[in-house]
Structure 1
């Protein structure tokens, strides 16, 4: 059924289609529709349950930041079978983001390019929504820098956003790796990143994670991992979108600027997960190119304690979490693992 619906949605401009989907899901956040979705799409099995950074997850498959920027639909996303939802990125001040068009499909490549620019309603609005939301799964808050905030004032900017959502989110992700805010990636350098992470850590942000760019050189990734351990972070998210353009891209929009996500970055993201997992005992959240159970399992075996998807959700539809979780159970059984946690890092030896 989703194949036919996707054809209709793909006739609309991507951002318009996304708004249609979010608005429709928001309208469905009521009983008895939620219970109906739960009965059909949630996969409840103790083998999928996992505890990561002192937080219990019903399954390892989550929605990546960017899909629900403003915390409008976390309740129904959990009902669709996802084990956690990462909202945002949010910024201290609301901002419109970059000019449209800023979201592009590459159907031939099962990919998306975006240059959204942290468009969101602002930390105050998102905090109010979270305070009145009763999600069934853990909620992560992805925090970015307000575009107009000077880089030297970034720690205070991140701190303000954190303070607004602190009481209603279950974990917090520092986003310094989006390619769509001018100068943001400069905050991945050790000194400015340490200032941000230390400020948040001193304020009691826990569990606190940092999201890596797939475009960092290995030496820079290793430096961030070392810093994460020094500051006392609780995990690392690998990875964000990439500004690289593989030669294999066939979509008409391949030349658009912005961050590329989806199938073309799957291998690079998995390589980064493996690189990070070999260098730290901190939990790793694997993101990038996940469409199927096999995709998720590859990242889990490479060292990911949790996985997230966004582009795969768009192309696969609302049953994607159920399908992945059911497939993970088959893969765990085939390999003789009694839990998803037992499979984490199986390919690292």
Structure 2
């Protein structure tokens, strides 16, 4: 109800200004208000981790881990922060975030704007949240693509001890050439180096932190199969499907639909869910799928699980529906698989 009142005010602001205001408010709420209700309980084990429920926050909303405690009040079963890069960077020039309310979509070309991995580590260390925390890592915009693995390894070294799992983001369309890392040879090299470093860090810290890979929705079926093969071959712990799309098929004639960047929200739901289904068939249960992309209601969350996912993440839907979406999706996915 509170969000229904606040939404017209937020939507009267520039999209990025509204985002910054909301994040600052959540930061204050997490620091100064009493703890909220615990996450609704519908526990499920995935990647060796116990999730209180299947609904999580996708990366991108809290890039620097500044509002973890405030976001935890929404009842998520897990929270993913980032994408973070080794060095701070401002991202692309503003304006770079656009609402498409007619189709419940968002286009962003943020460009991994963040304060750098050291700032994120300090914020996580100061947070009171004790639940499942994913940390999403990327490369700096000016790091040559052939040296991208060095950036991912640098981030992995610094976040490993604080993360429940670490996501490797190779699918944002807003960092030049980043999606090249989804190519067969590039992906093999990157995953091989990450798994080697993961093993060393597990020995060093005495705990195993799962690695997940976040992929794009703009993949041909053969590419999905190749990625699934690489995930199995390198024993990656999970896959997130999907990031934003560069397709504009669903937003023709819509205001801001021609803006460059990644499109999220309802227009990406079908393409993203199709990739989940393709991955589920190709992986045959060998590793779990976390679905993200266009979930605007409980039925959408349930559909992601029916397509083959084990967990579901929200982001753009929160902009249009507010915190009530989390509870609705938790209810819609409760006890999924009990009768299957």
**CA–CA separation in structure 1 for the residues paired with 2:44 and 2:65:** 24
- Deviation, 1:306, is 0.4
For residues 234-291 of structure 1, the C-alpha deviation after alignment (integer angstroms, 9 at most, x for no partner) is 0111000000012454531101010000001111111110110111121000011101
- Deviation, 1:328, is 3.0
**CA–CA separation in structure 1 for the residues paired with 2:259 and 2:6:** 26
Q: Are 1:202 and 2:203 counterparts?
A: no
**CA–CA separation in structure 1 for the residues paired with 2:74 and 2:261:** 29
Where structure 2 has 5 or more consecutive residues not aligned to the other structure, the ranges are 200-208
Q: How does 1:296-315 map to 2 (within 5 A)?
A: 296-315=301-320
**CA–CA separation in structure 2 for the residues paired with 1:92 and 1:325:** 34
Question: For 2:269, what is the secondary structure of its paired residue?
Answer: helix
**CA–CA separation in structure 2 for the residues paired with 1:247 and 1:320:** 23
Question: For 2:282, what is the secondary structure of its paired residue?
Answer: coil
The answer to whether the 8 A contact 1:61-1:321 is kept is yes
The residue aligned with 2:5 is 4
317, 332, 340: which one aligns with 2:336? 340
The answer to whether the 8 A contact 1:28-1:76 is kept is yes
The answer to whether the 8 A contact 2:28-2:70 is kept is no
The residue aligned with 1:172 is 166
**CA–CA separation in structure 2 for the residues paired with 1:341 and 1:139:** 24
Question: For 1:147, what is the secondary structure of its paired residue?
Answer: coil
**CA–CA separation in structure 1 for the residues paired with 2:213 and 2:328:** 28
TM-score, normalization: structure 2? 0.93
Question: For 1:340, what is the secondary structure of its paired residue?
Answer: coil
- Is the alpha carbon distance of 1:231 and 1:328 closer, same or farther for their aligned partners in structure 2, counting shifts above 3 Å? closer
| Structure 1 range deviating more: 60-69 or 195-204 | 195-204
**CA–CA separation in structure 2 for the residues paired with 1:249 and 1:50:** 40
The residue aligned with 1:284 is 289
For residues 172-222 of structure 1, the C-alpha deviation after alignment (integer angstroms, 9 at most, x for no partner) is 111111000001011111222222211111112631111111001111111
Q: Are 1:262 and 2:261 counterparts?
A: no
Q: Are 1:272 and 2:275 counterparts?
A: yes
Q: Are 1:95 and 2:89 counterparts?
A: yes
Question: For 2:37, what is the secondary structure of its paired residue?
Answer: helix
Question: For 1:109, what is the secondary structure of its paired residue?
Answer: coil
**CA–CA separation in structure 2 for the residues paired with 1:326 and 1:306:** 13
Count how many residue pairs are aligned between Structure 1 and Structure 2: 328
The answer to whether the 8 A contact 1:262-1:290 is kept is yes
Q: How does 1:138-153 map to 2 (within 5 A)?
A: 138-153=132-147
- Is the alpha carbon distance of 1:20 and 1:342 closer, same or farther for their aligned partners in structure 2, counting shifts above 3 Å? same
The answer to whether the 8 A contact 2:54-2:333 is kept is no
**CA–CA separation in structure 1 for the residues paired with 2:292 and 2:56:** 9
Where structure 1 has 5 or more consecutive residues not aligned to the other structure, the ranges are 330-338
**CA–CA separation in structure 2 for the residues paired with 1:69 and 1:172:** 14
**CA–CA separation in structure 2 for the residues paired with 1:217 and 1:107:** 29
- Deviation, 1:120, is 0.5
TM-score, normalization: structure 1? 0.91
The answer to whether the 8 A contact 1:109-1:249 is kept is no
- Deviation, 1:3, is 2.1
**CA–CA separation in structure 2 for the residues paired with 1:18 and 1:238:** 24
29, 44, 55: which one aligns with 1:50? 44
The residue aligned with 1:25 is 26
- Deviation, 1:320, is 1.7
The answer to whether the 8 A contact 1:243-1:260 is kept is yes
